[in-house]
Structure 1
Amino acid sequence: MNNPYNLVRKYDIMLKDFQTISTSFLVKQLPTATLFVDMKLRVVYASDKLISLFCDEKVNFVGQSLFTIFPELDSKWETVLKECLTGKSSPMGVQSFTDAEGKEKFYEWSNASWYDSDENIIGAIIQINDISLAIESDVALDKANILLKQQSELSKIGIWEYDLQKKTVYWCAMTKTIHEVALDYVPDIDKAIDFYKKGHSRNAISMAVFEATDKGRPWSLKLQIVTAKGNEKWVLAAGKPIFEKGKIARIMGTFQDINEEVVAEIKTKDNAKLLKTLIDHLPLNVFIKDRDSKKILVNKSECDYLGVANANELIGKTDFDVYPFETAKLSRDEDLQILETLKPILGKESISVKKDGSETVFLSSKIPLLDEDGHATGIVGISLDISDLKQKEQELRNLINVTSLQNKKLINFAHIVSHNLRSHSANFSMLLDFLVHEKDEEEKVKIVNMLTQASDNLLETLENLNEVVTLSTNTQAKKEKVNLHTKISEIQQNLSEIIQNNKLKIINKVSQNIDIRIVPAYLDSILMNFITNGVKYKHPDREPQLEFSTEVIKDYTVLSISDNGIGIDLEKYGSKLFGMYKTFHTNKDSRGIGLYITKNQVEAMHGKIEVESELGEGTKFKVFFK
């Protein structure tokens, strides 16, 4: 039989082994990193969580010193653990470790005394918790607070809060700084509102606070305040109701100093308004285009020229929207050249044609609009309407031409008068001398007859010269509307005897509805001269024929008079054709005065005359009536 004592002893050993195995199994399964160390700080148990975090699972470190396994531990912790072994437990603190991936992590170590069943301290229990996320969050929060403070100082944005229950108002340091009050200043809602400038600003903030507290509406307003030091400032005041349990508990918001920005904006707007006023009142067409040649600014003169009441009707449009294609294309090609070369076009004279066909002469300049980097962002265009100047220039040129022509005519006329009168004078002097010295009465009669003929010739010459003088001085003769077809028929009737005797055939192809404004007497003279010339210079081998026709060329009604006469050698006589007393045929009736007077009459009515002729075939005159 076995000894009862030995059986009890054996049972106690078996129970103790079972308890050890059970404790070890439970520690391994703990969800936190846990260590059990004995009185010499040697590891007795370790949870699987701890092993997976800090140790190689293949290494058995049971029985090793805690500071051998964790050499990074601060030496002061040994003192903390030894106090724990005496029953004085206290937190060990935070320790950083670098994991296998090289990332730094933070762990909080805590400890407690390890008691046996007899309440004897047999070691210490150490628990390790990963607080990396908490540390990172704290660091991020600190950084955020620092950044928020810096941002607040840079952007001059403060925060405020109004507690509706306690009736208290909180201002942060920046909000107080903006109001220029001391940092220990304690505001209330009435004082806060009183800082706003009387009038619109104070009324607007009062209404905003009321609607926020009564109806829960947020606000964001650009208003003016008067600081504690009496300075006016522009601020951006924003507020938002905060609800608790379905009721508005407080209002929170921001308060930003925007005085510099608003003052600069107001100054910019004033400068822009001043510049716009100046540009609008310039006697020039001014516009600005972007890189796509779309107008982004036009002045009043440009609007008036293009026939729009408001600049908005042109903003965003290109030249293709307001001009004919060819005009717009020329302008676009110029724009592209300037944008590419950055070389301006200055003082270029150009003709602008609008869609209604009207033309305007401009003196234009186009300049590239450059940014800070020297890149072209658009084009500034300036145009001066010089249509009136060009017209006056043309009128002056015409006047100079007319004056020059009149001067030449005057000199020519003086020469003619001098030559003709001198010839007549010499002829009279010679005949009178013959008469004085002649004794034979019959010869005297002949000389008297010759003096009579010379007198008639002198009178004719004086009449011709008088007609030329009258034509040259009567430049303001009144014009009247005359039907050209009817007038030709009238002159034809007046010259019917000459026409019939010479078998002259007149073909009047002029339309019966063509009216011209001319001096009637001049037209009579012109038509009579051409009809009588058709008789004088008829071809000897055929019956004469004269054809009248018309056409419209620009601003002129052109009357063409074609004959089948002997023609004129224009290469030989073309430059002298319209000269006074210039004859080119042996016709005894030629006086050389008709075409000269006709040309002067046409020019006196601001017209012109042209001639085409082939010797032996006929002549065609074209009379241009303005």
Structure 2
Amino acid sequence: MNEESLPELDLRLTQENLEDLYEYAPCGYCSCLPDGTLVKLNQTLLDWLGYSREELVAHRCLQQLFTMGGRLHYETHCAPLLLLRDQVRELSYSLRRKNGDTLPVLLSARLVRDTDGQPLVVRCTLFDITERRKYEQELLRAKVQAEEQGAQLARANEQLQAKNEQLTRINADLDSFVYTASHDLKQPINNMAGLFAELKHGASFPDPEAPAMVGMFEEALGQILDTIAGLTEVVQLQRKLEQVPLEVVELQPFTEEIIRSLQQRLGEYDAAFSLDFTEVPTLCIARPGLHSLLYNLLSNAIKYAMPGRSPRVHVRTSRVAGEVLLSVQDNGRGIDLERHGGELFQLFRRFHPDVVGSGMGLYLVNRLVHQAGGRVEVDSEVGQGTTFRIYLAG
């Protein structure tokens, strides 16, 4: 074979395959007269429809292959556009197959005119968009589902907001009640304590059990005064925090000052503290709230020391998943979390009755942390110690 014969071979192969390319293209081809009468269809389109060529050519119109809505659209929109613009692109229709099934397609068409400009024939290309339609329907379903979920979430947020507002009002009313009650009770209790002191000083009790009863009364009176003082402290601190701006607190000197005040009050304990604020040396927080938080945790670490063991308290900060972690770890008595974990932060709950306390410290710690937008986690083992982990926004 010489080079001169190659163009001839290419032409022959092109002529032989041109009809095959038309008939078995991956899309449907058809030609119709301006009124829609079909004059030619490729085999691909015939296979899609399930008709023979003889059933359609010169016997059916293009628009008759569409569903009812498609026919109306073709006659009222597509056909006029073809006459006006000579072409249309990617119009969505559904073909009606011989067996009654439908096939979604995209139709593009061009109007061919004769030399006088009169409409001669319409050549159409149709693409099967079954998979695309399924995908669109899935997207639509997903959109509807997302909108429904969004609406449900919005309703849930509204309900949550209403609950939060209700809880805020309840807390405010409760704080006001507690403050008023503690204030109104404080003076009568102080008067009672004064009268009892005078009575004890000037009176004699012949009953041999009287001294024990006097001691019990004094202890009960002291507990009442401690409770009133604690309630007053909670409400006063809450009101103070609402007015105090946030500030950057240097943790090392701040904590050292708290430790000094504790050692002055609890000098009988051989307590040792280790501080590590290397990773997070400062916190942006309300200073009074942080003082009360650390004071309660550190004083508890000393008060609830394991008998026969010197308190060792480790305080450190770190960063965890975008949050600041403030941890306070001790080697004290520990708490049975399986028994008391659910009531750990409840008001007036105490887990070591032999140690003097009001049962308000952990309640106050939890409240302060939540007010700062954080959370508290606790690990504890009886006889080994407790670790409080406080997570705050970084």
TM-score, normalised to structure 2, is 0.52
2:269 equivalent among 502, 514, 531: 502
Closer, same or farther: CA 533–338 of 1 in aligned 2, 3 Å? farther
1:339 paired residue number: 134
SS state at 1:487 partner: helix
State how far apart, in whole Å, the 1-side matches of 2:329 and 2:320 are.
Answer: 18
Name the counterpart of 2:111: none
Retained in 2: the 8 A contact 1:483–1:513? no
- Distance (Å, rounded) in 2 between the aligned partners of 1:346 and 1:606: 39
Give the structure 1 partner of residue 3 of structure 2.
none
Q: CA 1:448 to 1:496, structure 2 compared with 1: closer, same or farther past 3 Å?
A: closer
Does 2:317 align with 1:550?
yes
For 1:492 and 1:391, the matched residues in 2 are separated by 48
Cα 1:418/1:540, change in 2 over 3 Å = same
Summarize the Cα distance change of 1:265–1:485 in structure 2 as closer, same or farther, 3 Å threshold. farther
Map 1:71-86 → 2, pairs under 5 A: none
The answer on whether the counterparts of 1:471 and 1:601 sit within 8 Å (CA) in structure 2 is no
Structure 1 stretches of 4+ moved >3 Å: 259-269, 335-338, 342-348, 383-396, 401-433, 440-444, 446-462, 471-477, 493-501
Gaps of 5+ in 1: 1-151, 155-258, 273-290, 292-334, 349-363, 367-382
Equivalent residue, structure 2, for 1:466: 232
Q: Answer yes or no: is the 8 Å Cα contact 2:277–2:317 preserved in 1.
A: yes
The 1:431–1:483 alpha-carbon spacing in structure 2 relative to 1, beyond 3 Å, is closer
Q: Could you tell me how far apart the structure 2 residues matched to 1:535 and 1:430 are? A: 30
Distance in 2 between the 1:337 and 1:531 partners? 66
3-state secondary structure, aligned to 2:373: coil
Q: Distance in 2 between matches of 1:426 and 1:528?
A: 27
State which of 159, 163, 168 in structure 2 corresponds to 1:400.
163
Q: Count matched residues.
A: 276
Name the counterpart of 2:331: 564
**Equivalent of 1:597 in 357, 360, 364:** 364
Matched AA of 1:400: K
**1:489 correspondence with 2:256:** yes
In 1, Cα distance between the equivalents of 2:173 and 2:337? 25
Question: For residue 463 of structure 1, what is the amino acid of its counterpart?
Answer: A
What stretches of structure 2 of length at least 5 have no aligned partner? 1-32, 36-78, 92-104, 106-129
Q: Which has the higher contact order (CA 8 A, sep 6+)?
A: 2
Secondary structure of 2:325's aligned partner: strand
What is the root-mean-square deviation in Å for CA atoms of aligned residues? Answer: 5.5
Q: CA deviation at 1:501?
A: 4.0
Corresponding residue of 1:625: 392
Higher helix proportion, which one?
2
1:538 to 284, 305, 313: 305
Contact 2:175 2:235 in 1 (8 A): no
Aligned match of 2:291: 524
Shift of 1:545: 0.5
- Mapped to 1, the partners of 2:330 and 2:131 lie a distance apart of 58
1:347 and 1:397, CA in 2 relative to 1: closer, same or farther beyond 3 A?
A: farther
How far apart are 1:536 and its partner, in Å? 0.3
Deviation at 1:552, TM superposition (A): 2.6
Q: Percent identity?
A: 23
Query: What CA distance in whole angstroms lies between the structure 1 residues aligned with 2:264 and 2:190?
Result: 36
CA distance in 2, matches of 1:579, 1:536: 19
Distance 1:514 1:457, change over 3 A: same
Deviations 1:433-466 (A, max 9, x none): 9x99x9x84459x999999988776554433222
Counterpart secondary structure, 1:495 = helix
Higher strand share: 1
| TM-score normalized with structure 1 length | 0.35
Q: Any idea what SS the aligned residue of 2:349 has? A: coil
Task: Give the secondary-structure state (helix, strand or coil) at the position aligned to 2:358.
Answer: coil
Q: State the distance in 2 between where 1:388 and 1:339 align.
A: 25
Determine if the alignment matches structure 1 residue 580 to structure 2 residue 347.
yes
Matches of 1:336 and 1:549, distance apart in 2 = 59
User: Do 1:548 and 1:559's aligned partners in 2 also have CA atoms closer than 8 Å?
Assistant: yes
Structure 1: distance between partners of 2:132 and 2:87: 36
The one-letter code matched in structure 2 to 1:477 is V
Partner of 1:601: helix, strand, or coil? helix
Matched with 1:71 is none
Larger radius of gyration: 1
Using the TM superposition, give the Cα deviation of residue 470 of structure 1 relative to its aligned residue in structure 2, in angstroms.
Answer: 2.5
Q: Provide closer, same or farther for how the CA distance between residues 391 and 455 of structure 1 changes in structure 2, counting only shifts above 3 A.
A: same
Check if 1:511 corresponds to 2:278.
yes
Change (3 A) 1:260 1:465: closer
- Kept in 1, the 8 Å contact 2:311–2:330? The answer is yes
**Is the alpha carbon distance of 1:263 and 1:622 closer, same or farther for their aligned partners in structure 2, counting shifts above 3 Å?**
same
1:382-416 deviation digits (Å, cap 9, x = unpaired): x8799999699658636735854874896699699
The verdict on how the C-alpha distance between 1:624 and 1:413 changes in structure 2, with shifts beyond 3 A counting, is farther
